[in-house]
Amino acid sequence: MNNKATEQNNGKNNGKEQPTMMRKALSFFTDFFTTFQLSVHKKALGIIAMGLAFLSIFWAGMYLIDFQNIFGISSDRGFWWHAFRNRGPVEIGQWAVMSLVVVTSGRIAGIYEERKDRSGKILWLLIAATFAMMIIEDAGDPRHIQGRYFVHFWDMNRNLVEAGFFGVMIFPIIFGFLRYWNKAFRFVETRMYLILGGLFYATAAGTSLFRWINNFYQRVGNRISDLFFGGSIPGFFLMDFVFEESLELMAGAIFLAGAYLYLEHLNSLKDT
């Protein structure tokens, strides 16, 4: 009898625990929206809006110059090529955004250092380290340039080489978020920015990593180019330049918005 009663109680407890865990998981995301106040998010949304406005200039230029041919200078490597190519203006904009993330993360780490909070300091130093490596990768292109040596001399698979570069680059931030989860998502208001920015980066990195498999970039890019641009942009470059660089710029802007809002909240705790 006692065993049966215990089993029944355990069943009831398990039944209660599961909904509770699900509610907690859901509330992790829904709390962002239920507590949303425009006055609190105004500056963060402003950062995202500036990133979107900067990007829109080049999309508008691509549409008007390359597709409407308003100046009669449209070509295979027209405005879109120069705007979205490696080390072009859109990518330089990314460097600026990522540099601001490094500075903001360093400032947050400094505040945690002042407050003798070791976990918070380590987390944001790891974030700063990842974004610093991302700037080096974008500006110096070691993934492609140095990666060729691994492919040529050691006959390594190109995708494995690139995956290795990506792994080294993103390990600090992934480790930091997993190890210091509660510290990373300490403030409800910053959660969605940090998560969404990370997901945008993951999408850009994932598509780039698999771009050569079954001509993924070329096949998808050609379909998009035919559908929206009359096939005027080569599919591979549409994905590699226009899609990838646009996504990375917005990923950086969204993550920067979250980091800045985190810094504001951390400073407000100091004042109370």
pLDDT tier for residue 238 given thresholds of 50, 70 and 90? confident
| Coil, helix or strand at residue 141 | coil
Q: pLDDT tens, 169-203?
A: 999 999 999 999 999 999 999 999 999 999 999 99
Spatial separation of the C-alpha atoms in residues 214 and 204, rounded to whole Å: 18
Average per-residue pLDDT for the chain: 87
What predicted TM-score, i.e. pTM, was given to this entire model?
0.87
Tens of pLDDT, residue by residue over 15-72, are 445 567 777 778 888 889 999 999 999 999 999 999 999 999 999 998 888 888 787 7
Residues 6+ apart with CB under 8 A from 77: none
Distance in angstroms (rounded) separating the CA atoms of residues 123 and 120: 5
Rounded-to-integer distance, Cα 254 and Cα 44, Å: 8
Q: Is the pLDDT of residue 215 over 90?
A: no
Q: pLDDT (tens digit, 9 = 90+) per residue, 116-172?
A: 999 999 999 999 999 999 999 888 877 777 777 777 777 787 778 888 888 899 999
pLDDT at 239 over 60: yes
Query: Measured in Å, how far apart are the chain's first and last C-alpha atoms?
Result: 56
224/243 Cα distance (integer angstroms): 11
Question: Is the confidence at residue 7, as pLDDT, over 70?
Answer: no
- Which pLDDT score is estimated for 99? 98
Tokens encoding 171: 């390990």
Beta-carbon neighbour count of residue 118 at 10 Å? Answer: 11
